[in-house]
Structure 1
Amino acid sequence: MLQSTPAPYWRTLSRQAALAVAGAALITLAAKLQIPFWPVPMTLHTLAVMAIAVAAGPRLAMATLAAYLAAGAAGLPVFSGTPERGIGIAYMMGPTGGYLAGYLLGAGLTAWLAQGRGTLGRIGAMLSGLAVIYALGLAWLAQFVPAGQVLSAGLFPFLPADLVKVALVAAGATLPWHRLGGTASR
């Protein structure tokens, strides 16, 4: 019986890097798609972040979000509303900067909590990650809008759509995503 030898470390690392870049491209595409929703149009940004977190595991999810944020910081128009509303670090320092940072930490937490969990566990993991995204986003947004308007500007219009996205990811998480390169155990 022939034994297969493990792939060299550099090959595994380059595969993970390619998956992170592909994930960052997916997040970019999701950020650019707008779907009519009430009270504000929604993007698929959060859906992509949560799907990657649940499918890829903590290391690959955080590498993907780091690649996405690095591309944005470098001036590539990867964020929602770019280049019309600015690009690069200037955009990241604007009102939505806290949400962008929240995506990184929220994806890592979601991926870590979702490891080996069933549907309800993944939903709980995504809600925990969403809480991190909103906590950082609202704290940062408070620098730009009056205190009494933070929730009405940064939470209430977006929460219903984000809950729908969590439900969609939870429904889709039963598919064999590990065959695409990530595993829920990483």
Structure 2
Amino acid sequence: MITNKYTNSTKSIQIVSYFLILLIGSALLIISSKIKVPFYPVPMTMQTFIIIFFGSFFGWKKASLIVLTYLMEGLFGFPVFAGTPEKGLGLSYMVGPTGGYLLGFLFTAFLSGYFNLRTNFILRFFYLAVSVVPIYLLGYLWLGYLVGWGKPIFEIGVQPFILAEFFKILLLALIIPKIFSLKKNLE
């Protein structure tokens, strides 16, 4: 009987901590979406940095759930995305120019949490770079579908972001060992 009470209490604590991680993670994603450099048709934000950070800190399951929570909030019409509410809300925003990038967030959260980032700097940098590819690949494909392939899609949807992504990945590759140390101390 004592074991049962202890087990129920432990499960309750795990559920509450999971909920808090989702809530705080989603809030950080919302804040990172509002910190932006205006570009057209897709603004540059700090979201990729935060998503990769989540993957490296929480692992692929929690990071993917955080991103899924964020996307669901946006789908339900909350102004969580860059450019909302002025550029629309809900599904209408999600099927707009940023739709492919938003979908790519899920794959990036998964990959950055799935790869073994407890490795040397060069391999860690490579894994992080690969983790970001789905955002730009899906963003590129969706943008091309929406605006037409006759336009310079790569030049407006990928190229302006490459240098910024390089620096975000470089910074994360440098600090991830510290993130692992922090995580170990928290456990």
Decide whether aligned partners of structure 1 residues 50 and 73 sit closer, same or farther in structure 2, where only a CA change above 3 A counts: same
1:130 paired residue number: 132
What secondary structure is seen at the aligned counterpart in 2 of 1:142?
helix
**More helix as a share of residues:** 2
1:59 paired residue number: 61
The Cα offsets for residues 67-93 of structure 1, whole Å up to 9 and x where unpaired, read as 111111111111111111111111001
Decide whether aligned partners of structure 1 residues 74 and 47 sit closer, same or farther in structure 2, where only a CA change above 3 A counts: same
Give the AA of the match of 1:178.
K
Question: Is 1:153 paired with 2:156?
Answer: yes
1:121 paired residue number: 123
2:169 paired residue number: 166
1:25 paired residue number: 27
Decide whether aligned partners of structure 1 residues 179 and 89 sit closer, same or farther in structure 2, where only a CA change above 3 A counts: farther
Unaligned runs of 5+ in 1: none
The count of residues paired between Structure 1 and Structure 2 equals: 176
Tell me, yes or no, if the aligned pair for 1:122 and 1:170 is still in contact at 8 Å: yes
Which fold has the larger relative contact order, with Cα–Cα distance below 8 Å and residues 6 or more apart in sequence?
Answer: 1
Unaligned runs of 5+ in 2: 1-5
Tell me, yes or no, if the aligned pair for 1:119 and 1:173 is still in contact at 8 Å: no
2:107 paired residue number: 105
Tell me, yes or no, if the aligned pair for 2:117 and 2:127 is still in contact at 8 Å: no
Give the AA of the match of 2:173.
A
What secondary structure is seen at the aligned counterpart in 2 of 1:174?
helix
Percent identity over the alignment is 31
Give the AA of the match of 2:21.
L
2:95 paired residue number: 93
Give the AA of the match of 1:128.
V
Structure 2 distance, partners of 1:169, 1:152, is 25
Among candidates 79, 82, 87, match of residue 80 of structure 1: 82
Structure 2 distance, partners of 1:145, 1:180, is 49
Q: TM-score, normalised by structure 2?
A: 0.84
Tell me, yes or no, if the aligned pair for 2:101 and 2:139 is still in contact at 8 Å: yes
Structure 1 distance, partners of 2:123, 2:14, is 29
The CA RMSD over aligned residues, in Å, is 2.4
